[in-house]
Structure 1
């Protein structure tokens, strides 16, 4: 009797320790050729990438390399590239784990880290400041080892992001961290390598103003694939998992990979041509481990402060996907509350879709379906009276009702999205109503073909199901009859007349008094 082969393989979901990953047999997408290139350049670097994109694992890999742990790199690209495995003193500071809701929290974290280093290198802290202690530790580590020091800082901006709505506390954090990081400028003769990561660049304002030698590689084509996964890497590394996903989802291999691409691919971190689109590694690994597609990255964190920024600036949510911005705005290190787009981009909810070299402008958009539908579903309760749980429920019902031709039920349910608006219909709230329509139809797009129109001469929304094509026209100032007449007069149905499915036109008018849907006509 043949013993079945154990095909179970360990996928490194959430694993941030390179040593643990390699010593305990987790799968690894080899990034060490790029790591070697990075360290050979020898320039102090900064890299911004979205959360859960492998930044912490990258720093852990660098730490293992600089500590000379050659055995962990057996079989990897760097084993053939590196001839001299020296051991350097490494100061690895991670700001990732703490909740920074007070000055004391940040100070306690820095105190614990400094005390650990002082114990290692025999430094008496005395009455020195944080910066004085940090400087002394670097110098002592250099003197004791005879080699220059490596400094790795993970998620430098975590305290700043957590206090975005508290300017006073944020200013406290900025002063503390500025004094701490400024040491790296004067300590340059004692430093072999410095690498700093974060989600955003904005908190650099003040914090890194003196570190003019810091090379920002966030937009460099050379390091576009340093974090994340490419399609080639996924198909070369995870064949058994892709086959299991194919079987579990009852699709072909090609269909499974295409779905993986639609859900998790699409990140572009450089304006240069010749880039490789990047997959979100956390989502890919989660989908492969569970053999099931899901909103893994989005569910692992809540972008509340981003949506609050959109509301505070009265930003038109409809403009988010496909917005054009200047190159300067994405490269600027100054956070601007009146311009939320750069922050949303750097947090990973938008990515580069196109770059106009002549005018130096970027076109941004959602990278993939996971981010698009996750963000819009999360945003919906900020614009409507329903909760996030109710939003999913309603969207499912909306789709079902249109699939079965229950247009009246659909419109009755839609009124729930406009209930209890606390203000009269005016120029500002007109946009609010339009955004709610946009959210409803965009969210339906993940289950059926739903399009929201903004160009003149087209219907406001079109929904295609297996048996029906719906054409919607909404009137904020006008009657349902006028909306229906516009569908006919403008020929909105013409593109679909030879389709074969039943055509349904829907004209809807608002009731300013009720601040909700008023009358509607179905033709």
Structure 2
């Protein structure tokens, strides 16, 4: 049997159906939109979870252009059995995607924005001849991308003329509405974009003659005037139990794995790509499942460029408390947060705001609900995201060079503590270049977390134990080789009184003596590790020295 093609990167519903790609029926999304039919519906979900495909599906269903032909696309699908099939092909549809509107500065952003609007107007070239002179002049300015055109009213104007000359209020679909604001925040021109985009959306959503609007994005952007005066705004985030037509359910994953001959992979696929909670639903990452079906490998596939950049910056600038939380998450723990459904750009981010951003972007999921209002306990959802976090921290810590981290792993595997490309040299290299981390506390806990973060990425070769009770006490850090013939490590951290050689040596001696006195090696010995290297790691400001026994 010839299998259907996998729709990797295909987000156009018509292409997917006509070219016989594998399709998981999500047309229940159409039914729910029409059943609730709010004036404006804002749906926030992570990227690559099917937002654009669902919006494309909605467009082909509702659009009166080519309605008879488009109706054939829905043969045999769930929506065909619904009473809402009568709504098919009844509306003019204005579909705008804001994905890809970016630029290194505001001027380049405007060029991209103007180009996208020009393409949108191109779809309405046949309407142009019906316009009066005044309307035609503005239409041409946007269509031809003329400089200094007032773009804030471009979407409202298009809605106005569509309604005026068709007699039917259009449906407005805006995909990835927040993408320009996220990029502008990263690039440093957010205030300029906020005003432009705020007016652009505001005029269309508040004053234009539309039947209804559906908007998707990652975040609900707060303290802006985009939605402030809307009387009938329905907001659906990951915390609300509605519009659950994104991602893949376990039954859908089991079916597609079986279809592509990977039915034995369900448990492994679950550990790698499951774990997301949308409302009350547990879902898999569809992008990763599709790529896994194509390649058969259980590796990281999910890339969310815009959110990655913002999260990377947040982690670089994070204070000691959020770093503690981050390391606890990497160790399989949970983080408590008060989740507010709003993202506030341009303000100092609280720990809860950072966790909310990670949660909204799909990097954290709900482990359990707390007792207080909006209190949640979050965790890393699966191995794929954990792998991303490890690499992210290494990228932050390892700005000294591309190979520093791999060289550290090589040095640990052979027990090369001192010299060129040694454990000491590589940890020092990452330590010295982690400047943003060195502006905080100089307590032992601070250094402990920093070194632990560097070691997290070693978990394919070592079991990493932190603050674990062994022997007669609790050591700071141990690396237990997964191969019992490998080398184990016990680390004890100390902060020297000063950076003088005497104070370093004294602290190093104390660290090694403590390892012996407390018999920290007991557990590793009992588990069959024969070769153990004991290391005292001593810090003073930005200076680090290793002492070995």
The TM-score range, normalised by the shorter chain, is 0.7 to 0.9
User: 2:294 aligned to 289, 295, 298, which one?
Assistant: 289
Give me the whole-angstrom Cα distance separating, in 2, the residues matched to 1:113 and 1:280: 31
Does the CA-based 8 Å contact 1:70-1:79 persist in structure 2?
no
- SS across alignment from 2:184: coil
User: 1:508 aligned to 536, 539, 543, which one?
Assistant: 536
Does the CA-based 8 Å contact 1:89-1:148 persist in structure 2?
yes
Give me the whole-angstrom Cα distance separating, in 2, the residues matched to 1:400 and 1:20: 51
Q: Does 1:438 find its partner at 2:448?
A: no
Shift of 1:505: 6.1
Shift of 1:177: 1.3
Give me the whole-angstrom Cα distance separating, in 2, the residues matched to 1:454 and 1:360: 33
User: 1:482 aligned to 510, 521, 536, which one?
Assistant: 510
Cα shift readout 1:145-200 (whole Å, capped 9, x = no counterpart): 44331111111112111121454x32221111111111244447x42331111122
Does the CA-based 8 Å contact 1:202-1:334 persist in structure 2?
yes
Q: Does 1:365 find its partner at 2:415?
A: no
Map 1:325-474 onto structure 2 (within 5 A). Answer: 325-327=337-339, 330-335=340-345, 336-339=347-350, 340-387=354-401, 389-390=402-403, 393-394=406-407, 396-397=409-410, 400-401=413-414, 406=415, 408=417, 412-419=422-429, 421=432, 428=441, 433-453=447-467, 458-464=474-480, 465-467=482-484, 470-474=489-493
Distance change in 2, residues 1:257/1:300 (3 Å)? farther
Q: Does 1:164 find its partner at 2:185?
A: yes
Q: TM-score, normalised by structure 2?
A: 0.79
Give me the whole-angstrom Cα distance separating, in 2, the residues matched to 1:426 and 1:178: 36
Does the CA-based 8 Å contact 2:91-2:168 persist in structure 1?
yes
How many residues matched? Answer: 493
Give me the whole-angstrom Cα distance separating, in 1, the residues matched to 2:91 and 2:422: 68
Give me the whole-angstrom Cα distance separating, in 2, the residues matched to 1:149 and 1:224: 22
Give me the whole-angstrom Cα distance separating, in 2, the residues matched to 1:517 and 1:224: 55
Q: Structure 1 regions of 5+ residues with no counterpart? A: 247-252
Cα shift readout 1:50-93 (whole Å, capped 9, x = no counterpart): 22222111110111111252211222211112441343111011
User: 1:181 aligned to 183, 201, 208, which one?
Assistant: 201
Q: TM-score, normalised by structure 1?
A: 0.83
Name the stretch that deviates more: 445-454 or 82-91. Answer: 445-454
Shift of 1:118: 4.9
Give me the whole-angstrom Cα distance separating, in 1, the residues matched to 2:525 and 2:272: 32
Q: Structure 2 regions of 5+ residues with no counterpart? A: 139-148, 497-505
Distance change in 2, residues 1:183/1:268 (3 Å)? same
Q: Which residue of 2 aligns with 1:48?
A: 44
Does the CA-based 8 Å contact 1:323-1:363 persist in structure 2?
yes
CA RMSD, 1 decimal: 3.3
Q: Does 1:126 find its partner at 2:137?
A: yes
Map 1:209-358 onto structure 2 (within 5 A). Answer: 209-219=228-238, 221-223=240-242, 225-243=244-262, 253=264, 256-270=265-279, 275-298=280-303, 303-315=308-320, 316-320=322-326, 321=329, 322-327=334-339, 330-335=340-345, 336-339=347-350, 340-358=354-372
Shift of 1:363: 1.8
- SS across alignment from 1:238: helix
Does the CA-based 8 Å contact 1:373-1:446 persist in structure 2?
no
User: 1:24 aligned to 19, 32, 36, which one?
Assistant: 19
- SS across alignment from 2:177: coil
Name the stretch that deviates more: 460-469 or 390-399. Answer: 390-399
Does the CA-based 8 Å contact 1:114-1:134 persist in structure 2?
no
- SS across alignment from 1:349: coil
Give me the whole-angstrom Cα distance separating, in 1, the residues matched to 2:154 and 2:176: 21
Map 1:16-95 onto structure 2 (within 5 A). Answer: 16-43=11-38, 44-67=40-63, 68=67, 69-81=70-82, 82-84=84-86, 85-95=88-98
Distance change in 2, residues 1:17/1:471 (3 Å)? same
